[in-house]
Chains A and B, each alone.
Chain A
Amino acid sequence: MSTTVLVVEDEQDTAELLTRLLEREGFSVLHAGDGRQARTLIDTIRPPSLILLDMVIPYVSGFELLRVIRRHPDWQLTPIIMLSADDYEPDIQQALREGATAYVTKQKGSAGLLQAVKRFLPATPPQDQIVAQAGSAAPPTRRVSVRHRLQGNQRKERAA
């Protein structure tokens, strides 16, 4: 089983680039397109090996999610790389102060991001990183959006 990275990114092209980049390196990718989807994942799955968290996302900001994750009993130790289109120094310092493991500006390009990812992920993928939703018999998938996951659950509930 490969190492899983949760990408929280609302800009679709950027999310696709990150997914392609990470999958090319052998990582499994979960994608949340906004803060609500990320909250749902945090509440329903086991923590991934790493989180890439965009600062500016709809509904729940990156800072708010950062605080939620750092208070979560299961997720609090998960490395978080904050992503931002800005290099506004107060935001950088606040992110690091509130528990971000690293801060990467998108101007670094995906190569810079990949450097950071490889720094924080273990060399050998852990065997206990289960990305399937708790209670689901379905095998973990390499790339699952929250929307698809929720839709699948709703179909199961209707069928039950």
Chain B
Amino acid sequence: MKPILMSSIKNQDKTTDTRLIGEEPMEYTQPKEIGAEGEVLVHIDASFEPLIPKFLTNRKNEVVTMREALTTQDFDTVRKVAHGMKGAGGSYGFDRITDMAAVVEQAAKTGDASTIERDLPALGSYLDRIKVVYE
């Protein structure tokens, strides 16, 4: 069977077979609306509603874990946690989480504590402002 590559949008030029890359469905639409008091509205398929509260709670806990790891310069833990968050965010359609976690992961790989110190609070703030709209 011929192998199929389904890569991200930015890598489509490297894709060997793009037949499986279709239009992004509504449930994975990027947040484009700002709700009341700085809320960020994220539209998610209603069938995933039971999973979302735990998903967000776990991400917030991971920010705490990374902050604690950073205090001991434990970049390996920061990298691993950020990597997991990057994948989970993408799977659920929280693409902004994925983007922010990717920056933290990359900074952890190079031991760039200042970037992590700058971005973790921003990530935590973003998580606090998410308001999920189920559709």
Contact = CB atoms under 8 A, between A and B. Distances in A.
A137 interface: no
A17 interface: yes
Nearest to B28: A109
25 contacts: A17-B51, A17-B55, A20-B48, A54-B87, A56-B83, A79-B1, A85-B86, A85-B87, A89-B11, A96-B3, A101-B3, A101-B4, A103-B3, A103-B5, A103-B7, A105-B6, A106-B87, A106-B91, A106-B98, A107-B98, A108-B90, A109-B92, A112-B21, A115-B20, A116-B20
B1 A18 contact: no
Secondary structure type dominating chain A contacts: helix
Interface residues of B, number: 35
A16 B14 contact: no
Contact of A17 (B8, B10, B21, B48): B48
Nearest to B82: A85
Contacts of A104: 6
A11 interface: yes
Given A85-B83, A108-B90, 7 more contacts: A18-B91, A85-B84, A85-B87, A103-B3, A104-B6, A107-B9, A112-B22
Contacts of A89: 11, 14
Given A11-B87, A92-B5, A24 B51 contact: no
Interface in A1-58: 10-14, 16-18, 20, 24, 54, 56
Given A96-B3, A102-B5, A111-B25, A13 B90 contact: no
A13 B22 CA distance: 25
A48 to B, nearest CB: 16
Chain A interface size, as a band, is 35 or more
Ranked 6 nearest A-B pairs via Cβ: A85-B87, A106-B90, A107-B90, A102-B4, A109-B28, A96-B3
Contacts of B1: 79, 101, 120
B118 interface: no
A93 B54 CA distance: 35
